[in-house]
Amino acid sequence: MTERPDTSRPESARQRIWRVGLTGGIASGKSAVAEMFAGLGVPVIDTDRIARDVVSPGSPALEEIAAAFGAEVLLADGSLDRAQLRKIVFSEAARRKQLEAITHPRIGVAMEAQCRQAGGPYQLVVVPLLIESGLDQRVDRVLVVDCPEELQLRRLMTRDGESAAHAKQVLAAQLSRAERLARADDVVDNSGSLTETRRRVMALDAIYRELARAYSR
């Protein structure tokens, strides 16, 4: 876990700040963990927020989405009806891929722009679909926020008012828990208390600062 990264790469490959990619299944607690890192002075680049900006009213991405999915995915004020779009893309994999082809390249560009401006001892890049989108190739470490699927379902139903059937459909559309854990360099178990989660975050922060120092040398 604490092994140093390869620092023998050409200087041009090490111009950016060392990055941790934070991911996890829906309702696993990614936002809570990201806030804990932010409280320790780590810049957080949240691609969920970037995604909202990318599809803001009048944006090219929103126009493409409306053309691809129809006016039913727009609200009366011209903004994106996220609930309606979510129903469409989580019921059909091909439609989800169609949406990702519109949004993911734009999110990647905006993510890089924010990383260049963020500074910090290292950077935490929060990407729900980090592995699925291929953005794991742009980070130096993969951190997975994990909890049992039954807890995810309960949180999702409580948070978003989802039915049990649709909540299960959303989970099934994502990378499986086992696949995420297999790709993880580090894991935060977020099924216990916030105190336990914060203790794990603080331990990882110390490790990441050391790895980032080694990377920058």
Inform me whether the pLDDT recorded for 182 exceeds 90: yes
Residues 55-105 pLDDT 10s: 999 999 999 999 999 999 999 999 999 989 988 998 888 999 999 999 999
Among 118, 144, 160, the domain-final residue is 118
Our count of domains for the chain comes to 2
User: What's the confidence (pLDDT) of residue 95?
Assistant: 93
Specify if 4 maps to a domain. no
User: What's the confidence (pLDDT) of residue 91?
Assistant: 84
Let me know whether 68 and 23 are in one domain.
no
C-alpha 172/C-alpha 207 separation (Å) is 33
Residues 9-38 pLDDT 10s: 333 445 789 999 999 999 999 999 999 999
Residues 108-124 pLDDT 10s: 999 999 999 999 999 99
Let me know whether 38 and 131 are in one domain.
yes
CA proximity to 48, closest of 35, 30, 62: 30
Q: Report the percent of the chain where pLDDT is more than 90.
A: 77
Let me know whether 39 and 78 are in one domain.
no
- CA dihedral (132, 135, 139, 145) positive or negative: negative
Let me know whether 131 and 112 are in one domain.
no
Among 75, 90, 118, the domain-final residue is 118
Cβ–Cβ under 8 Å, residues 136 and 130: yes
Q: What is the average pLDDT value for the chain, to the nearest integer?
A: 90
Let me know whether 22 and 105 are in one domain.
no
Helix (H) or strand (E) holding 50: helix 47-54
Confidence of residue 174 (pLDDT cuts 50, 70, 90): confident
Let me know whether 114 and 130 are in one domain.
no
Specify if 1 maps to a domain. no
Structure-block tokens of residue 6: 């390869």
Specify if 11 maps to a domain. no
Query: Is 124 strand, coil or helix?
Result: strand
Let me know whether 55 and 84 are in one domain.
yes
User: What's the confidence (pLDDT) of residue 15?
Assistant: 72
Q: Which residue type is seen at 88?
A: I
Cβ–Cβ under 8 Å, residues 115 and 17: yes
Let me know whether 100 and 150 are in one domain.
no
Specify if 187 maps to a domain. yes
C-alpha 211/C-alpha 19 separation (Å) is 10
Let me know whether 126 and 214 are in one domain.
yes
Let me know whether 36 and 76 are in one domain.
no
Let me know whether 99 and 178 are in one domain.
no
Give the CATH number of the domain where residue 53 resides: 3.40.50.300
Let me know whether 146 and 168 are in one domain.
yes
C-alpha 7/C-alpha 216 separation (Å) is 8
Q: Write out the E strands in 131-191.
A: 141-146, 186-189
User: What's the confidence (pLDDT) of residue 14?
Assistant: 53
Inform me whether the pLDDT recorded for 177 exceeds 60: yes
Q: Which domain holds residue 153?
A: 17-43+122-217
User: What's the confidence (pLDDT) of residue 5?
Assistant: 41
- pTM for the structure as a whole: 0.85
Among 91, 118, 145, the domain-final residue is 118
Close Cβ partners of 14 (under 8 Å, ≥ 6 residues apart):
7, 215, 216
